[in-house]
Structure 1
Amino acid sequence: MALSPAQRHSQRVAVQKQLERRQAVESLDSLHIQIQALNQDVAYLRDLPTIADRVTHKRDVLLPRWLPTVEAYLESGSVFVHPVFAWCVVWLFDAGDLDKALAWADIAIAQQQPTPDNIRSSFPAFVADQVIAWAENTLAAGESIEPYFTRTFENVTTRWRLHEEITAKWFKFAGLLLLRDDNGQPRATAVDDVETLEKAAVLLATAEKLYKRVGVGTMRAQIAARLRSLMKEQ
């Protein structure tokens, strides 16, 4: 039976109060009201002037507001298209909570959840791009990218069906990672271990096989030259 305008208003007020108290909103009947509230939050977020402001708002306001509702959804065992869940996965990456972001992304992918409307890629492609961008920034800061890099690399190469260009980018990154010198730059001459060079060569060859324009030809030639040089020294 359809709700009266007064009942709908009461439901909206109840949902808003639960969200303000950071309580879970579990009623399926209120899903459309949840989505209305979510859309308002997204619109407010987009009006914030800086990226830093948006990240702070996601971490300090939106995630605490919505996480209980998503946790209740996940605990229920029900599976349906859940825009709140999808947005929370995105916000977790933006907020830098990779542990929860990757755990929930795995669930979203298993449930075939669509990404929010402003994200054109699927969740596997979104996660692949997010983690490799994070890895690049983290390496530049001199910090470890594990265990998140290896975990996602395994998904990219063995579980997810992605466009060849994305997968090639990951093989390239993994190959160059083995060649980093003391300054963090990939350089074949910085590596003395034949096994490491051969492993990097295989990774880069795989990248080029997947996507010709991935841009590893020069490095592959340098690895080959380095291997020849090391063999002569033996």
Structure 2
Amino acid sequence: MAMSPCQRHRARIKAAETLDNREALTASPVSFHLLKLELESDVAHLRNLPRTEDRVEMKRDELLPRWLPTVEAYIAGDKRYANPALVYCVIWLLDTGELEKALDWADIAINEGQTMPDNFKSTMPAFIADTVLAWANVEAACGHSIEPYFSRTFANIQDTWRLHEEINAKWFKFAGLYLLRDHNGEPRATAVEDVETLEQADALLAQAEKYNRNAGVKTMRGKIQARINGLTAE
């Protein structure tokens, strides 16, 4: 039986109070409709913030605490359906640096075939790949560890996800160059003393070149081979 406008209004208020109290909305046709309305309202508010810093703060301090219980209840439950709250939480967790939970939930969302919001042009696997690679570039440049999140995502790219060749090429290129880093974080074949590591790096760069012939690895591969020749001659 359809609700009257007054009943819908009261239900909307109750749904908002449930979320504000950091409680889960139950899975029902009515609550799912209200979930979408509340989520759309939160996303609209978020987009109105002009500064990236303010948006990240809102995601961390307001939106995630508000929506995590509902998504956790969904994951723990038996019913499966298109769930935009799960997708947005994955995005927000990545944006706030909570990579472990983000990747855990991304695996679930991808396995369920959840779709990205309409304003995103990429699929979720492509979005995860691009986001984690961008994060790894920044962390590596600062001398920070990129594990276990880099290897975890790279394994999905190699074994599970079907991505555009250019995305694959970027990942294999980064993985190969990462093995060649010197003390300053710069990729240099002469910084590596181990032939096996050099061969591993070259294999990764070769795969990058196979995915995209314009990957920009030809010069480095030549330097790797020269370094291998030098070490084996010694």
Partner in structure 1 of residue 14 of structure 2: 14
Partner in structure 2 of residue 95 of structure 1: 96
CA–CA distance in structure 2, aligned partners of residues 27 and 161 of structure 1: 32
Partner in structure 1 of residue 25 of structure 2: 25
After superposition, give the CA deviation of every residue in 1:35-54 in whole Å (9 maximum; x if it has no partner): 11111111111111211111
After superposition, give the CA deviation of every residue in 1:124-150 in whole Å (9 maximum; x if it has no partner): 111111111111111122111111111
After superposition, give the CA deviation of every residue in 1:23-73 in whole Å (9 maximum; x if it has no partner): 111132221221111111111111112111111110010000001111111
Q: TM-score, normalised by structure 2?
A: 0.97
CA–CA distance in structure 2, aligned partners of residues 25 and 74 of structure 1: 13
Partner in structure 1 of residue 207 of structure 2: 206
CA–CA distance in structure 2, aligned partners of residues 41 and 52 of structure 1: 17
CA–CA distance in structure 2, aligned partners of residues 35 and 82 of structure 1: 9
CA–CA distance in structure 2, aligned partners of residues 153 and 226 of structure 1: 27
Using the TM superposition, give the Cα deviation of residue 105 of structure 1 relative to its aligned residue in structure 2, in angstroms.
0.1
Q: Which runs of 4+ in 1 moved over 4 A?
A: none
Q: TM-score, normalised by structure 1?
A: 0.97
Describe the SS at the equivalent of 2:24: coil
5+ long unaligned stretches in structure 1: none
Indicate whether 1:117 and 2:118 are aligned. Answer: yes
Number of equivalences? 233
CA–CA distance in structure 2, aligned partners of residues 215 and 104 of structure 1: 34
CA–CA distance in structure 2, aligned partners of residues 196 and 154 of structure 1: 19
CA–CA distance in structure 2, aligned partners of residues 77 and 132 of structure 1: 33
Indicate whether 1:224 and 2:231 are aligned. Answer: no
After superposition, give the CA deviation of every residue in 1:75-105 in whole Å (9 maximum; x if it has no partner): 1121110111111110000010001000000
The one-letter amino acid of 1:99's match is E
Partner in structure 2 of residue 86 of structure 1: 87
CA–CA distance in structure 1, aligned partners of residues 87 and 193 of structure 2: 46
Partner in structure 2 of residue 145 of structure 1: 146
Partner in structure 2 of residue 195 of structure 1: 196
- The percentage of counterpart residues that share the same residue type is 57
Using the TM superposition, give the Cα deviation of residue 229 of structure 1 relative to its aligned residue in structure 2, in angstroms.
1.4
RMSD: 0.9
Partner in structure 2 of residue 127 of structure 1: 128
Indicate whether 1:35 and 2:36 are aligned. Answer: yes
5+ long unaligned stretches in structure 2: none
